[in-house]
Amino acid sequence: MDKLEFISSGGTRLDKLVSDNTELSRSAAAKLIEQGMVTVNGKPASKKDAPPEGAVVTVELPEPKSADILPEDIPLDIVYEDADLLVVNKPKGMVVHPAAGHYSGTLVNALMYHCGESLSGINGEIRPGIVHRIDKDTSGLLMVAKNDLAHIGLSEQIKAHTFTREYSAVVTGSIKEDGTVNAPIGRHKTDRKRMCVTPDNSREAVTHYTVIRNFAGYTHLSVRLETGRTHQIRVHMSYIGHPVAGDEVYGNGKPKSLGGQCLHAKKIGFVHPRTGEYMEFDSDLPEYFVKFLKSIE
């Protein structure tokens, strides 16, 4: 069993609150609550309860079972593919690999159907082919390895910080100048779902950002990762007082219509592990992103 803890912001039903603070669907969250796997301040609660602000919500997550992970005929937006790797444009709302509450409908389920057994096995049965990941509510480009040679070659580039990753983000508030955030990131001491800037048990994290355009109350940024820590952009932008718009974990979640953070993995670049050729791919901003930009003009 794995455990997650987070603090209630108040005024939200428990099943929705658990779903918003984990990668669980609302129905999966409700099922865990009914099974007594969710407590509020150490006590069982109903899915209809609205924990008060400041209450500690604890969720026990069962380990995913590899037997449950099956190929599924889910359409994929494949930007590039060869015998060693493929580049996929992941939609907002899709989980990358199976986890508690998400044993189906993930990118891995779709990849297993598309690629058959041609996925690297370095990350085991739960995450075949997955070299790096992006959050459920982050859209954009993701690289997948079809064999171990490709997986090792691509992973080494990520470790060496030679792998290009550029994002488009809308953050709250006004940023007038380009800048860099150099602040170590580690796991939050009491809330395992959250990462934070901390000197304790942390790793170096560097984020570069360039201002694209200012709006009333928001700024559109191009963000380049020098390192690739979990939730890095979201943590760093929140740390400097400009959380990503719609971020329900590191910001205030507004506007709710976004359904999660306004963050898109727009560009990736890498040296092909077999041919030695540098390859770079760019994706258009998705509909939800363009719609939001138009709404704040």
Q: Which residues are catalytic?
A: 135
Contact between 217 and 172 under an 8 Å Cβ cutoff? The reply is: yes
Contact between 25 and 19 under an 8 Å Cβ cutoff? The reply is: yes
Q: What is the chain's length?
A: 297
Tokens read off for 231:
């939730």
How far out from the chain centre does Cα 233 lie?
10
Distance CA 71, CA 111 (A): 7
How far out from the chain centre does Cα 249 lie?
11
Contact between 190 and 145 under an 8 Å Cβ cutoff? The reply is: no
Q: Which one, of 83, 84, 129, lies nearest residue 106 by Cα?
A: 129
Three-class SS state of 203 = strand
Residues contacting 185, CB < 8 A, separation 6+: 195, 196, 197, 198, 202, 203, 205, 229, 230, 231, 232, 235, 236
Which DSSP helix (H) or strand (E) runs through 269? strand 263-271
Distance CA 214, CA 165 (A): 23
Distance CA 132, CA 114 (A): 19
